[in-house]
Amino acid sequence: MGWFSSIKPYKGQDYDKLKKEAKTKGHLFIDTEFPPDDRSLFYSQGKMANVVWKRPKQICDSPKFFVEGASAGDVKQGRLGNCWFVAASSCLAIHKDIWHKVIPDVSEQEWDESKPDDYQGIFHFRFWRYGEWIDVVIDDFLPTVNDDLIFIHSQSKNEFWSALLEKAYAKLFGCYEALDGGELVEALEDFTGGVGEVIDMVKENYSNDAELKAALFTRMQKEVDRKTLMAASIPAESSEEMEAKTDSGLVKGHAYGITAVKNVPLEGSGLFSFFNREKIHMIRLRNPWGEGEWKGAFSDGSKEWEKISQSDREKIGLTFEEDGEFWMTFDDYCKHFVQTAICRVVNTSMFSLSKTWYEGLSHGAWKKPDRAGGCINNLQTFTNNPQFMLDITDSEDEPLFHLMQKTTRATGTGETNNTIGFTIFKVEDNRRYRVHDITRQEKVVSSVFRNSRSIFLKTQLKKGRYVVIVCTFDPNIEENYLFRAYTSDSNNFKELTLDKPSRSLLCCCCIGAPKMVTQVKVLKAEGLARQDVSGADPYCVISCEGEKVRTRTVEDTTNPEWNDTALFFRRKPLKKPIKIQIWNHNILKDQYLGRHVFVSADECKDKIMAVDLVGKGRNMEKMPGKLYVQITQSKNFNSI
């Protein structure tokens, strides 16, 4: 899904049309959908004293959309408890290619003093909402007290892009109050259409696990290079802790934008040459308040900076101003911060030089009575949930999964997010219908279950077919969702909606209805004939009633383990047997290693069997090796 392949005007308001209408009528635009009064401030009965809505021209003499471009320092938090949005806006300012898309037509929206008649008091911004890009139009009235902006503002009093961006975002959610309290990753996703992840560094013990810590540093370095948006926070555990400063100068219940992750060389002491200096892992963060910084090692002006050469300080852009931006060691970062939010801007363009992902995307809903089964704890109803199939076509891949519930932020109804998550199963290589019994499938991994707007999982999967079951934690919860999956190669992503072959399909084929469903699991083989110096590269072909399924190739062994399965809906189970052949993969021509034909129903009793191998055709001589298979069959199509 590319940037802005389809842009939907919010509330049907067309920016160009409204701007033209305002110019024709000779007055500045007033947004009746988000009026400059208390209705746009609150959804509750709250009221803020002495608030006056003013246009930028009424606040300063020479207003500008941008003053010398956008920077993280342009975004300072006001009286609203939306540091999560402020930190995300700071991240946005760092990535020019992203903010140019969120804030389109920058030169056109800028005040032009030489053409005062071109200004119509109208702006527009773009946000990603559940798979769609939304264009939000606003007027330029902003809430003030004593001529000062009361919410987000820039360090330059005549710069207004951040305040106007916040107003557009507030309009998208109903009012400014709806932005009071939230998750940082939400805003990052809405700025990018990316997939957001929250890492709990305390729960996963990053501070005390050197290996985990090193892997996270390397990962965050790569994410910076990929223009990933990142931020950190220390969640407050009570209302009393909100915005409380720790002894180290960090603030609880507050979000900090991550602006750099670097290896910084230390000054040599004779032990290290110029080309082989010791380096220290460091990270740079920004407080959205624009003031209040880290007080520990490598804080502004601390003696630790004497260990870094002047030239290296200049390279990393070190300043000691009270601007809210500061450096700290990565060790201290993992020790003092609790959560790291990472939002990847996933590239799906085939024409890009950077890594390209293949996307699977589906909008859906948990609905009673048959699509709201709850989590896997509810074993009897779990498979009633929506199910999605995808293939991993590489030998191994590291796909991304992202589940988002389509709830709105608080609107005075008291609604909260549902607890959601998903579980991934390795299934039969030819499965085309819904899973009914998860005990017969290999559970690979479950995501965390959390009452967040979205759940992210990055995991490693081997070649094969998988089914993802998305769910709420409790059964009988109804909610809309968006589910996305990203793989390195094409994945045949689709929702599984049918429980079994449809009646219409059977009638069209005129070949009779299936009488039995059979699951064949090829576990392993032992003692196969050696084909070269090191062994063989064996794979299996499972055949039944004209359908063939090939397992993975296991390299360089005569004792392969496959654990691959196939599923067959059989019309003539008594006349058409199941055949399993083993072949050795070769560049020029594959070599036959043996087969076994399962004729008798007695061989298919859901138990692991070790069977002999014979030659092909009429040649029934015994071949080296044993094949281990488990076959399950039933006349009930909803049993597997």
Which residues does the annotation mark as catalytic? 83, 254, 287
Asked whether the beta carbons of 465 and 448 are under 8 A apart, the reply is no
Tokens of 314: 């200049």
Asked whether the beta carbons of 75 and 90 are under 8 A apart, the reply is yes
Straight-line distance from the first to the last Cα atom of the chain, in angstroms, rounded to the nearest whole number: 35
Sign of the C-alpha dihedral, residues 561, 562, 568, 572?
Answer: negative
Q: Among residues 565, 518, 416, 401, which one has the least CA distance to residue 469?
A: 401
The pairing of strands 132-139 and 195-200 is unpaired
3-state secondary structure at position 337 = coil
Any alpha helices (H) in 157-292, and if so which ranges?
161-173, 184-192, 210-225
Tokens of 202: 């305390």
Q: Among residues 630, 548, 546, 564, which one has the least CA distance to residue 392?
A: 564
Angle between helix 184-192 and helix 83-94 axes, rounded to 10 deg? 40
Q: Which amino acid is located at 606 in the chain?
A: D
DSSP string covering 93-120: HH-HHHHHHHS--HHHHS--TT-GGG--
CA torsion angle 376 379 381 386 (round to 10): 40
DSSP string covering 394-445: EEEE--EEEEEE-PPSP-SS---PPPEEEEEEEE-TT--S----GGGSEEEE
373: left (phi over 0), alpha (psi -120 to 50) or beta: alpha
Alpha carbon distance 541, 547 (integer Å): 10
Tokens of 26: 């000779």
Q: What's phi and psi for 478, nearest 5 deg?
A: -105, 130
The pairing of strands 339-344 and 195-200 is antiparallel
Tokens of 171: 């309009």
Tokens of 628: 């281990």
Contacts of 284 (CB under 8 A, 6+ apart): 258, 259, 260, 261, 262, 316, 325, 326, 327
Cis peptide before 104 (omega within 30 of 0): no
Q: Among residues 109, 181, 111, 176, which one has the least CA distance to residue 143?
A: 176
Alpha carbon distance 538, 561 (integer Å): 10
* Sheet arrangement for strand 454-458: 358-366, 479-487, 400-405, 454-458
Q: What's phi and psi for 598, nearest 5 deg?
A: -95, 105
